[in-house]
Amino acid sequence: MEDVVDQLLQEVAKCFQKYSTLTDEVLSGLAFVFQGTLLPALSLVDSKSVTRLVSPSSRCLYEVRGSSGNVYMCFEGLNYCCCPSYTYSVLKRRDSMMCKHILAVRLSEAMQTCCTVNVQDDDIATIIINMDT
């Protein structure tokens, strides 16, 4: 299934690069695969709620300001988020592949709408240490 997701996100990137929007065809494919998380994720992307934090050693984290105002951290290239929805829907119930925050990260990267903020390596370490506190 991860291959399907990667292929869909490649289509998102091509479509957004060509049209600066997503076609109905691409949106239909995304809706079929992501069902309940797509619209909330697109809302996060539209509101520019995804920020890529990059350190001098190229470590990278994503900060996603959720619809409730809470900030959730997602790791680059990993399907992990510290939000309760991820724990419940992805890990426990297994009825979703990813939460809206991870999908928002993946979509904003594909559409190249992610804001980048340079931080120090110590900042990344501190964020990781304090993620679940």
Domain boundaries, the chain: 2-129
pLDDT digits (tens, 9 = 90+) for 18-45: 999 999 999 999 999 998 899 999 999 9
Is residue 75 predicted with pLDDT exceeding 90? Answer: no
Average pLDDT score over the chain: 91
pLDDT digits (tens, 9 = 90+) for 94-108: 888 889 999 999 999
Residue predicted with more confidence, 45 or 80: 45
CA 113 to chain centre: 11
What is the average per-residue pLDDT within 38-67?
Answer: 94
The pLDDT assigned to 132 comes to 66
Q: Which of 14, 102, 19, 9 is nearest to 63 (CA)?
A: 102
Is residue 54 predicted with pLDDT exceeding 90? Answer: yes
Is residue 63 predicted with pLDDT exceeding 70? Answer: yes
